[in-house]
Chains A and B, each alone.
Chain A
Amino acid sequence: MTARRLVELLGLPLVALVLVAAVLGVQVAQGGGTYEPLRPADPCAERAVTSRADGIDGLTERIVLLGVDAAACRLGTSREALTLRLAQREDPTDAEVDALRAGLRDAVRRLGDDGDLPPASELADEALAAADLNRFVEAALRALPDSVVDGALDTEDVLLRAVDELDVRALLDDLDDPDALEAAVSAAVQQAVRDALLDRLRDLF
């Protein structure tokens, strides 16, 4: 076979091979083939959560974010899949409700262990403003020194009690109603504070 015949037979195939290899090589090197949607992170892996909000709102957001992670881990699903399921379905299953409550408790404990829970006195003003109390009672409570508040109320204990008080199923029903949500959380926190104070008094006597 002459060199000229060889060029005629192999010239175009070689040019084509080089062109295809070059195009695919550049695309793969630039991330082609991995251009896919974000994969959900492992909910069982520890994740740092932050909030743009301060005070009780910020604390609540962090507890909810960590709580949903922990609940998803318990249910063997992703945080995103669980969130979508809870947001889209009318009636969550008992397993989901139980996992969510347990997840919220895990979240409170984790924040407590990490030293990320503020003392009760830091949250007291905001909690009193949100609570529907008699003006004189509210003024009296505001007059208490921080050390007394912090001595009487342990934030982690109050939050764990509040999680137990929460009607998680009703809360999920009210996801699209911020006022109802706030009222439900506030009621649970007030009840938790009352229970914590009563238990503290019982311990004193």
Chain B
Amino acid sequence: MRRVVTALLVVTVALVLADSAVVTLALPEILLELDTTVGEVAWVLISFNLVLALVAVPTAWSLRVTSPRVASAVGIAVFAGASAWCAAAGTIEVLVAARCLQAVGGALALLGCLELLVASYGERRGVATWITAGVVGTGLGPVLGGLLTEAISWQAIFVVQVPFAVLAVPAALTVAAPREPPADRHRPAVRANLTLAVLSAALVAASFLLVLLLVEGWRRSPATAAVTVSVVPLAALAARPLARALRTPPTVEVAVGCFLVAGGLVGLAVPPSAHLAWTVAPQVLVGLGLGMTVDRLTERALEQRLPRARHAAWTIGARHAGIVLGLALLTPVFTADLREAEAPAQEAVTALVIDAPLRPEDKVAVAEALGRQLQAERGQVPDLAPAFASLDLDPAERPAADDLERALDDQLERAATAAFRDSFLLGAGLALLAMLTVALPGRRRHP
């Protein structure tokens, strides 16, 4: 029974933190279905992270007057209800409101579950389990979201969370956990939380931007993108054994982790082609870096600091504020770069059509079909297949038209990849900044 209860609490922690990025692959579908704009749909992602960052620490204060099991049960119930509301949302405004409520419930659930896991497993194992559940949830969020979107719909992402959460409510109520004493005993771990925030901002490039590049830039399906980005959580699993084998001190491990994230993001900025294989090695670097940093930093921020829930809240606040910072910094850069990429992409397409080995009248037909398609998909990387399928060409001209279609697709992929380059490099810069916050000498303590 105890195992089932703790398993449900672990799943709840993973689900809440997975929600941070779970909708990333569903954003294009939400954009279409709720008939909204790119700017508005981004708030489905931003709102959850922003509210979680803002309410985490105040929520920890509320645990002084509430028993952890009641707080957990209420938090999980609110989270479950808000998830169901997300699935039922018919407008972008309602969806964003439901995501805010999800974050409020999620904050209470996360902090309550930490206390319950410590009560079940003891301090060290309880905290470690809570941290691991969070890292796994964060890593798997985009993967699960993409697979569910492709297999069923974006609403399924929220629907599947409800039964787990509904089961976790009674489970939480069965765990007896003492209320934490009210006194402030330790100051927040500023450096660990700052590194966590800056690194989380950098990791937005590896999760949010990479997914956008795969789905919107390279026009891969959400399921393909989900499988592709699963490299990061898998590589993260290998990080700790590697650091342990080399007996690396924790500070060095975190600094190296930040460096690996930076290296991986530079790799994602300079792929030699739009073949998915070229994203694997950079993602392995990011995954190794993730595995060496996030749980280490969270451990350090929580290590023997009381009240535990409040320090955990600082780590949640730092991580999610970092994600919001990353979105705020990276989104305008890549949207501006995407807009700027339109002209060179159109010119490249024009050059290939003009020089295509087609008869003049077929070139005109291709140009007209492409013009209509570009008009229909304004603001997005266009799918040229319908334009070519609509052409009434002499069968003898088909091979040349097929070659042209492939060449044009290649040009569009080149333009999209180049448009994401600066954002990935900015992400790499943020990871190096996070490394600096680790490497800088600390404040001297006077005896």
Which one of A34-42, A105-113, A131-139, A150-158 is at the B interface? A34-42
Question: Contact between B347 and A52 (Cβ–Cβ < 8 Å)?
Answer: no
B-chain residues with CB within 8 Å of residue A193 when the two chains form the complex: none
Complex Cα distance, B243 from A8, in Å, reads: 9
B-chain residues with CB within 8 Å of residue A12 when the two chains form the complex: 242-243, 246, 248, 252-253, 256
- Do A52 and B354 contact each other (CB < 8 Å), given the known contacts A35-B271, A38-B411? no
Q: Which residue of B lies closest to A176 (CB)?
A: B368
Complex Cα distance, B273 from A17, in Å, reads: 24
Q: Does A9 belong to the interface (CB within 8 Å)? A: yes
Complex Cα distance, B225 from A187, in Å, reads: 56
A28 CB, nearest partner CB in chain B, Å: 6
Q: Does A33 belong to the interface (CB within 8 Å)? A: yes
A129 CB, nearest partner CB in chain B, Å: 17
A-chain residues with CB within 8 Å of residue B352 when the two chains form the complex: 38
Complex Cα distance, B247 from A9, in Å, reads: 8
B-chain residues with CB within 8 Å of residue A176 when the two chains form the complex: 368
Q: Does B249 belong to the interface (CB within 8 Å)? A: yes
Q: Which residue of B lies closest to A60 (CB)?
A: B360
Interface size on B, residues (CB 8 A): 52
A112 CB, nearest partner CB in chain B, Å: 21
A-chain residues with CB within 8 Å of residue B361 when the two chains form the complex: 178
Question: Contact between B271 and A8 (Cβ–Cβ < 8 Å)?
Answer: no
Question: Contact between B270 and A52 (Cβ–Cβ < 8 Å)?
Answer: no
Q: Which residue of B lies closest to A40 (CB)?
A: B347
B-chain residues with CB within 8 Å of residue A24 when the two chains form the complex: 263, 266-267, 270
Q: Does A45 belong to the interface (CB within 8 Å)? A: no
Question: Contact between A37 and B263 (Cβ–Cβ < 8 Å)?
Answer: no
Question: Contact between A37 and B344 (Cβ–Cβ < 8 Å)?
Answer: yes
Q: Chain A contact residues: over half helix, strand or loop, or mixed?
A: helix
Question: Contact between A35 and B417 (Cβ–Cβ < 8 Å)?
Answer: yes
Q: Does B393 belong to the interface (CB within 8 Å)? A: no
Q: Which residue of B lies closest to A21 (CB)?
A: B263
Q: Does B154 belong to the interface (CB within 8 Å)? A: no
- Do A51 and B414 contact each other (CB < 8 Å), given the known contacts A9-B252, A80-B354? no
B-chain residues with CB within 8 Å of residue A81 when the two chains form the complex: 343, 347
B-chain residues with CB within 8 Å of residue A15 when the two chains form the complex: 242, 246
Kindly identify which residue among A8, A40, A58, A78 contacts B247, using a CB–CB cutoff of 8 Å: A8
Question: Contact between A8 and B270 (Cβ–Cβ < 8 Å)?
Answer: no
Kindly identify which residue among A30, A31, A36, A53 contacts B359, using a CB–CB cutoff of 8 Å: A53
Question: Contact between B249 and A23 (Cβ–Cβ < 8 Å)?
Answer: no
Complex Cα distance, B255 from A40, in Å, reads: 44
Q: Does B90 belong to the interface (CB within 8 Å)? A: no
Q: Does B260 belong to the interface (CB within 8 Å)? A: yes
- Do A53 and B263 contact each other (CB < 8 Å), given the known contacts A8-B246, A12-B253? no
B409 CB, nearest partner CB in chain A, Å: 12
Question: Contact between A32 and B271 (Cβ–Cβ < 8 Å)?
Answer: yes
B285-309 residues with Cβ-Cβ distance < 8 A to A are 285, 288
A-chain residues with CB within 8 Å of residue B272 when the two chains form the complex: 27, 30-32, 35
Question: Contact between A52 and B359 (Cβ–Cβ < 8 Å)?
Answer: yes
Query: What are 23 A-B contacts with C-beta separation under 8 Å?
Result: A8-B246, A8-B252, A12-B243, A12-B246, A12-B248, A13-B252, A15-B242, A16-B260, A17-B259, A19-B285, A23-B282, A26-B281, A30-B272, A35-B270, A35-B414, A36-B417, A37-B344, A40-B347, A65-B354, A79-B354, A80-B350, A80-B354, A83-B354
A-B residue pairs, 4 tightest by C-beta: A20-B263, A32-B270, A30-B272, A80-B347
